[in-house]
């Protein structure tokens, strides 16, 4: 299975997958994402439900049973979890390379601090 085709994740998709490490419904996901991102990422309902449909088609999330019959509840799949891990590793690498280069640039007279 070629999971690399899903990368890089958009910030919205990354946070949606992260919010589904515990099963949640759409509104709860929106609240979790706003909290996790320190209110930097706010997802409108229309954007959220479009993203959910997309992620269901890609099999990165799945619908799960819930005691609340009024709301659909979703959870991340194994495939979604692996894609999330791959994107996290990709971003860690980018940060490491950036920090190394920025610290090197300060040694040659740059005023950049990380």
pLDDT of 108: 62
CATH code given to domain 3-107: 1.10.10.10
* pTM assigned to the model: 0.87
Residue of higher predicted confidence among 91 and 112: 91
Tens of pLDDT, residues 43-96: 999 999 999 999 999 999 999 998 888 899 999 999 999 999 999 999 999 999
Neighbours of 45 (CB within 10 A): 10
What pLDDT is attached to residue 97? 95
| Distance in angstroms (rounded) separating the CA atoms of residues 32 and 24 | 9
E-state strands within 3-105: 24-25, 61-64, 73-76
Total residues belonging to the chain: 114
What integer is the mean pLDDT of 10-26?
97
Average pLDDT score, the chain: 92
| Whole-angstrom distance, CA of residue 95 vs CA of residue 62 | 31
The three-class DSSP label of residue 62 is strand
């Amino acid at each position: 299975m070629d999971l690399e085709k899903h990368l890089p994740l958009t910030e919205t998709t990354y946070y949606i997958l992260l919010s589904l490490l515990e099963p949640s419904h759409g509104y709860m996901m929106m609240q979790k994402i706003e909290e996790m991102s320190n209110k930097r990422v706010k997802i409108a309902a229309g954007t959220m439900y479009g993203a959910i449909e997309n992620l269901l088609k890609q099999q990165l999330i799945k619908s799960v049973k819930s005691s609340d019959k009024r709301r659909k509840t979703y959870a991340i799949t194994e495939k979604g979890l692996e894609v999330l891990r791959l994107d996290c590793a990709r971003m860690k690498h980018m940060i490491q390379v950036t920090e190394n280069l920025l610290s090197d640039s300060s040694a040659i007279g740059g005023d950049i601090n990380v």
